[in-house]
C-alpha cells in the first residue's frame, strides 16, 4: 500500500486489505500518514459493517 500515490488511494479504498490499513495506522512513523491510514481503516470498516447490518437475516 505504501507504494501507491495518495491520489490513487481515494479511488477505491475498499480494495485494500483492512489488515494492511490497520498495520499502517498502528506502526507508521509519519504522523500525517498514520492519520490517513487510520481514516481509511475506519471508512472501510464502517462500510463492511453497513453491508453486514443491511443483510436480510441480520438480527439487531
pLDDT tens per residue, range 3-50: 555 566 666 766 778 899 899 999 999 999 999 889 989 988 998 889
Q: Report pLDDT for 60.
A: 76
Rounded to two decimals, what is the model's pTM? 0.73
Q: Report pLDDT for 59.
A: 82
How would you class 31 by CB atoms within 10 Å of its CB: exposed for 0-12, middle for 13-18, buried for 19 or more?
exposed
More confident residue, 57 or 12: 57
* Residues 41, 49: Cα–Cα separation, whole Å: 12
* Residues 59, 57: Cα–Cα separation, whole Å: 6
Nearest to 2 by CA among 45, 48, 37, 31: 37
DSSP 26: H
Amino acid at each position: 500500500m505504501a507504494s501507491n500515490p495518495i491520489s490513487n488511494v481515494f479511488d477505491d479504498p475498499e480494495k485494500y486489505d483492512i489488515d494492511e490499513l490497520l498495520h499502517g495506522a498502528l506502526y507508521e512513523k509519519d504522523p500525517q500518514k498514520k492519520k490517513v491510514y487510520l481514516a481509511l481503516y475506519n471508512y472501510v470498516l464502517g462500510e463492511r459493517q453497513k453491508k453486514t447490518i443491511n443483510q436480510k437475516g441480520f438480527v439487531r
